[in-house]
Amino acid sequence: MPELPEVETTRLGIAPHLVGRKVNRVEVRNAKLRWPVPGDLSSLLVGQKLKGIQRRGKYLLFDFGRGVVLWHLGMSGSLRILSGSGVREPAAIHDHIDVVFAGKVALRYCDPRRFGALLWTSDPLDQHALLSHLGPEPLTDDFDGDDLFRRSRKRKTAIKTFIMDSKIVVGVGNIYANEALFAAGIRPGKAAASLTRAKAERLVTEIKLVLQRAITQGGTTLRDFTGGDGKPGYFAQQLAVYGRGGKPCRVCATPLTETRLGNRSTVYCAQCQS
């Protein structure tokens, strides 16, 4: 489900309800996620105060001082707030984890496909195996055209696959890769190494723009994404190419081409992108 804008929307939606509160109770109904949920999660968290929630790529980082919960939503995961009497709402079939805080507030995790993960670490985050190799955050100055241009030299892989590689830049998933390439006028299948410096600059600009716009709109809701407060995202109606194969290009009306790249659905305009 979530790419960077949806994860960021989730973070912004849940943090005000949770930060500063102590954990009262943890309920893990199904520990079988991508990796097993730590068996001692309850003893690690109960009584601890949540100091803040940060994000690195698509990982949410819950800072409890003595350690950090790394929470990844995978393909179909979502987090939402239960409050007041809602804390007693019965868990649905795919509601695998509740973290119940003081003050009648709970965080509930739903993940039908269970590709998500919840891990605990008390080591420095930049040394964690899942985080240490990650590329720059796309919305910071660490990610710029010069960086993308240099790193794409001699890379034969398709530019779309390249920008979806978390070692190159984090947070760009299939929706926003398609959208950014359309906005930059670049065909998804072009070799990364064939980008000119100017096109690399343009692509970086468009990646930043599309992600920022999507965050402003509360993310993209395709089926059931909500931002932690139950509200859907409104970016889906602004998608130019993703999910629009065969439909007319919004710029030139040419029917959009749909193909597969790296086994991921890929849509582009043969007229506008070269």
By beta-carbon proximity to DNA, the closer residue of 81 and 261 is 261
Q: Which residues contact 16 (CB under 8 A, 6 or more apart)?
A: none
| CA separation for the pair 238, 217 (Å, rounded) | 10
Of 226, 260, 242, 241, residue with least CA distance to 6: 226
Instruction: Output the DSSP codes for 115-155.
Output: --EEEEE-S-GGGSTTTTT----TTSTTS-HHHHHHHHTT-
Smallest gap, in angstroms, from Cβ of residue 218 to DNA? 11
**Least distance to DNA from the beta carbon of 150, Å?**
11
Nearer to DNA, 66 or 113 (CB): 113
Of 11, 58, 199, 202, the catalytic one is: 58
Q: What size, in residues, is the chain?
A: 274
Where in 30-89 is the site for DNA (CB under 7 A)? 32, 34, 57-58, 72, 74-76
Residue 114 binding DNA, by CB under 7 A: yes
Report which of 91, 58, 51, 99 is spatially closest to residue 77, judged by C-alpha positions: 58
Range 179-218, binding DNA (CB under 7 A):
none
223 binds DNA (CB under 7 A): yes
The smaller minimum CB distance to DNA, of residues 36 and 86, is found at 36
Considering only 19, 130, 139, 209, the residue that binds DNA (CB under 7 A) is 130
Are 104 and 87 in contact by the 8 Å Cβ rule? The answer is yes
Residue 58 a catalytic site member: yes
Q: How far is the CB of 222 from DNA (least distance, A)?
A: 3
Of the candidates 39, 24, 4, the one whose C-alpha atom is nearest the C-alpha of residue 120 is 39
> How near is the Cβ of 226 to DNA at its closest, in Å?
9
**Number of neighbours of residue 43 by Cβ within 10 angstroms:** 10
190 catalytic per annotation: no
113 in contact with DNA (CB under 7 A):
yes
Verify binding: residue 155, DNA, rule CB under 7 A. yes
State the nearest-atom distance from the C-beta of 13 to DNA, in Å.
Answer: 13
CA dist 144 and 203 (Å) reads: 9
**CA gap 102, 131 in Å, rounded:** 30
- 92 lies in the site for DNA, by CB under 7 A: no
Residue 247 contacts DNA per CB under 7 A = no
The DSSP bridge partners found for residue 121 are 68
Identity of the residue numbered 66: R
List contacts with DNA (CB under 7 A): 1-3, 6, 32, 34, 57-58, 72, 74-76, 93-94, 112-115, 129-130, 154-158, 161, 164, 166, 173-175, 219-225, 262-265
Residues assigned a catalytic role: 2-3, 58, 264
